[in-house]
């Protein structure tokens, strides 16, 4: 039998105050006033579904053997590339072996749970552990109700043979072409239907069928469920379904809407990770995914939970926050408003794909070199060792820098260089094991950067080629307290 061996999550540091959204739009839609409480997770301008998935994966894989991985799968309805495999890009950023399978899963709100069930059912023939990721950064029209309901985030699960930290007890799926919302090809935003119809004809009729099928096939009684994970922006619906199914009220999990919003495809797995951080051995966790039907998956926590090294997970991500009350910044970061960005923003940003391919380990994986003669560490790797007392030729072995701690050696805040979020912070990072790297800084607050500040490397968007729809990814430095 298969199970979950490890888990991780990522919620962006920025939290958009819902009050700021309501204050800006209530003049047009007074009905938003009742949604002004709490906050929603908001991607920085250099974050998207790929960068969040990488961050969640790094959290999940901390202390795990990456070389043993046999596959990476990404579930998302907001893939940065419509025709370039996003999961392969993620695998490269994680410095995984080329001899693995990669797969993108999309086009369904429940693709996170459907993909997870399929991956677990297929573990017997996979030949080794699988990294399953889910991430979403959904855009809405300015002032839409969904702008207040949604949030950005990602979750990662390491799947393997054996029970792991949570053994898989089975699943049941109902497939029904019930359309609560949709996004047509070439359209930027979802089209949403009426909430009462979605509640009465959708959730309250379809989800109970899936739960009934799961309980019948697994032999587990509803009263045995200790954690009921069911994302739903309609507040009372999870409790109504739990009561109808016979699941105890104490099993209901917080949907996290008040603190981060609903993270789309990722949300069932985000809530699952949150539940695993609270669970104890023997607890049964029921996970529901809704969308053109319903998936119901059942897990049982094992003794392995207590042995797993601490993860940041959902709880750590939620603690790592900075309130954002500037609604205009949110609109700008999500291209919901046309800004005059100045002449410095007009440079051609085409990416030479040949150069990217030849340097993919350095650019996407942040691989430098370690001299096998004197041990000097350097980035980037060169043909001649930079140690003046060595200068050995062709002596560089691969040295990953992404997980190496560092400190600020020098820094600058630049108001002239173009950036989506001025000023541009950059500087020299001195790595703990040796080597220096001149990096862009991200997730820093103006006036809070200083020499010797502890930094970690994070995978982010470097630039966006808006003319061709290409995103350039690279590594940036972020303060340890704010880094993934």
Helical H runs in 80-124?
Answer: 86-93, 111-121
pLDDT tens by residue, 401-423? 999 999 999 999 999 888 999 99
Same domain, 268 and 218: yes
Same domain, 297 and 361: no
Range of the domain at 460: 350-366+401-479
* Cβ within 8 Å of residue 466, ≥6 positions away: 349
Domain count, the chain: 2
Same domain, 28 and 161: yes
pLDDT at 99 over 70: yes
Give residue 141's region: left, alpha or beta (phi > 0; psi -120 to 50).
beta
Q: Which of 119-133, 156-170, 219-233 has the lowest mean pLDDT?
A: 119-133
pLDDT tens by residue, 159-209? 999 999 999 999 999 999 999 999 999 999 999 999 999 999 999 999 999
- The per-residue pLDDT for 123 is 83
Same domain, 296 and 357: no
pLDDT tens by residue, 244-302? 999 999 999 999 999 999 999 999 999 999 999 999 999 999 999 999 999 999 999 99
Q: Kindly indicate the confidence band of residue 343, based on its pLDDT and cuts at 50, 70 and 90.
A: confident
pLDDT tens by residue, 286-328? 999 999 999 999 999 999 999 999 999 999 999 999 999 999 9
What's the mean pLDDT when you consider all of the chain?
96
Same domain, 153 and 52: yes
130: CATH:
3.40.47.10
- The per-residue pLDDT for 346 is 84
Helix crossing, 111-121 with 267-278: angle to 10°? 60
Same domain, 307 and 360: no
Answer whether 324's CB lies under 8 Å from 15's CB. yes
């Amino acid at each position: 039998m298969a199970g979950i061996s490890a888990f991780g999550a990522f919620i962006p540091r920025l939290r958009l105050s819902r009050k700021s959204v309501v204050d800006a739009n209530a003049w047009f839609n007074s009905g938003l006033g009742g949604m002004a409480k709490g906050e929603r997770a908001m991607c920085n301008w250099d974050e998207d579904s790929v960068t969040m998935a990488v961050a969640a994966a790094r959290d999940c894989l901390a202390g795990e053997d990456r070389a043993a991985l046999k596959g990476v799968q990404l579930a998302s309805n907001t893939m940065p590339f419509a025709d370039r495999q996003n999961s392969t890009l993620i695998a490269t950023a994680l410095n995984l072996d080329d001899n693995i399978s990669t797969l993108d899963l999309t086009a369904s709100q429940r693709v996170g749970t459907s993909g997870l069930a399929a991956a677990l059912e297929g573990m017997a023939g996979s030949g080794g552990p699988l990294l399953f990721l889910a991430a979403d950064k959904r855009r809405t029209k300015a002032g839409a109700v969904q702008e207040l309901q949604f949030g950005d985030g990602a979750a990662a699960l390491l799947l393997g043979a054996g029970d792991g930290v949570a053994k898989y007890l089975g699943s049941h799926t109902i497939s029904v072409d019930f359309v609560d919302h949709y996004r047509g090809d070439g359209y930027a935003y979802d089209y949403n239907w009426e909430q009462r119809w979605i509640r009465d004809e959708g959730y309250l009729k379809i989800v109970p069928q899936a739960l009934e099928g799961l309980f019948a096939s697994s032999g587990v009684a509803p009263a045995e469920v200790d954690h009921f994970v069911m994302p739903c922006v309609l507040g009372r619906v999870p409790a109504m379904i739990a009561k109808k199914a016979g699941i105890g009220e104490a099993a209901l999990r917080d949907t996290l809407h008040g603190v981060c919003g609903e993270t789309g495809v990722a949300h069932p797995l985000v809530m699952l990770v949150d539940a695993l951080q609270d669970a104890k051995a023997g607890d049964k966790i029921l996970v529901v995914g809704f969308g053109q039907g319903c998936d119901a998956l059942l897990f049982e926590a094992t003794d392995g939970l207590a042995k797993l090294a601490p993860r940041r997970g959902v709880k750590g991500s939620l603690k790592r926050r900075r309130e954002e009350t500037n609604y205009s910044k949110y609109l700008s970061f999500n291209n919901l408003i046309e800004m005059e960005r100045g002449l410095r923003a007009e440079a051609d940003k085409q990416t030479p794909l040949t150069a990217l391919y030849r340097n993919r380990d350095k650019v996407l994986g942040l691989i430098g070199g370690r001299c096998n003669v004197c041990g000097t560490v350097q980035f980037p790797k060169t043909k001649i060792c930079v140690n003046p007392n060595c200068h050995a030729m062709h002596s560089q072995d691969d040295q990953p820098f992404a997980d190496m701690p560092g400190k600020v050696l020098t820094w600058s805040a630049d108001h002239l260089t173009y950036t989506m979020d001025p000023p541009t912070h950059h500087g020299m990072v001195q790595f703990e094991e040796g080597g220096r790297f001149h990096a862009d800084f991200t997730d820093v607050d103006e006036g809070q950067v200083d020499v010797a500040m502890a930094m970690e490397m994070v995978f982010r968007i470097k630039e966006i080629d808006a003319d061709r729809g290409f995103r350039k990814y690279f590594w940036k430095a972020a303060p340890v307290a704010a880094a993934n």
